[in-house]
Amino acid sequence: MSDLPTNSVVPEQLEEKIEARSAARRLAGFATFTAAVAVLVAVTVYAQDKYLLISSGGIAFSDFKGYGDWPTVSSARQDEILKVIVANPKMITAYKAGIPLNGQAFPEGSMIVKLQWKQKRSTEAQFAVEVPDVFTQAFVMEKDSKRFPKTGGWGYAVFNYDAVSGKFTADAKSLSDCGNACHTAVKAKDYIFHPYEMR
C-alpha cells in the first residue's frame, strides 16, 4: 500500500515539471519576440533618421522624401566629384513642358536634388572610366515663393553624408540662401543650371 501514494505523487511532480518547462518556453518565446520587435523599431528609426534633419534655414530633409526614386534631370562632373541631378514629378512635368527655356518659371512645389559622390577609376571596365565611389552630399532646392521671397522663390540646403557613420547631417554653414549667390548667374532660367537632358 505504500506504493500507492508514491505513484500518485510522481505524476503530479511530472506535471509540475512539464508546466514549468512550458512556462519557461513561453517566457523565452516572448523575450525573443520582444527583442525582434525592438530590433525592427531600431532599424526603422535609423532608416528614417535623415528625414528628421532640418537645415539652419528651416528646410526639412523630409520635404524631399523619396528623392532616390525621382527621375534624373542631368549629370555633371567637377574635378573629383560626380553629380547626378534629380527632380520631383512636378518639376519633371514642368521641364517637359519647356520650362524654363520658354521663359516661364517652375511651379510652386518644384524640388530638385543634386547628389554628389567622390569618384574613382573603375577597376572592372576595359577602358578608362570614372565611377561613383563614396556618396558625400545632397544639395537640395525647393520652390516656395512665400517662404523664400528674397531668393527668387527658391530655398537651398545642404545635407552632408558621412560614409563612416552612415549618417546624414544638416550642413551648419548652409543657410536657406546658400546656393542663391551662385544660382543668380542663371536667374533668366529661374535659377536652375541644368536643363532636362535628351534621352
pLDDT score, position 48: 44
Domain boundaries, the chain: 3-49, 61-189
Q: What is the pTM of this model?
A: 0.73
Task: Name the β-bridge partners of 81.
Answer: 78, 118
Helix (H, G, I), strand (E, B) or coil at 39: helix
Q: What string of pLDDT tens digits covers the 199 residues of the chain?
A: 555 555 555 666 666 666 666 655 655 555 454 444 454 444 444 454 899 999 988 999 999 999 999 999 999 998 889 999 999 999 999 999 999 999 999 999 999 999 999 999 999 999 999 999 999 999 999 999 999 999 999 999 999 999 999 999 999 876 655 678 889 899 999 999 999 998 8
> Which of 168, 166, 182, 161 shows the shortest CA–CA distance to 117?
161
What whole-number distance in Å separates Cα of residue 152 and Cα of residue 174?
A: 17
- In this structure, the strands spanning 154-162 and 167-170 are antiparallel
Per DSSP bridges, beta strands 111-121 and 154-162 are unpaired
Q: In Å, what is the CA distance from 32 to each residue of 21, 37, 90, 196?
A: 16, 9, 46, 52
Q: Helix or strand or coil: residue 199?
A: coil
Q: What is the pLDDT of residue 180?
A: 82
d(CA 129, CA 122): 6
Per-residue model confidence (pLDDT) at position 11: 63
pLDDT digits (tens, 9 = 90+) for 97-136: 999 999 999 999 999 999 999 999 999 999 999 999 999 9
Q: Can you tell me the distance from the alpha carbon of 60 to that of 111, in angstroms, rounded to the nearest whole number?
A: 12
β-strands 130-143, 154-162: how paired?
Answer: antiparallel
pLDDT at 74: 96
SS3 149: helix
Answer CATH for 61-189 from 3.40.50.300, 1.10.3720.10, 3.50.70.20, 1.10.357.20: 3.50.70.20
Find the DSSP H helices in the chain: 3-48, 89-96, 180-183
CA quadruple 81, 82, 88, 91: dihedral sign: positive
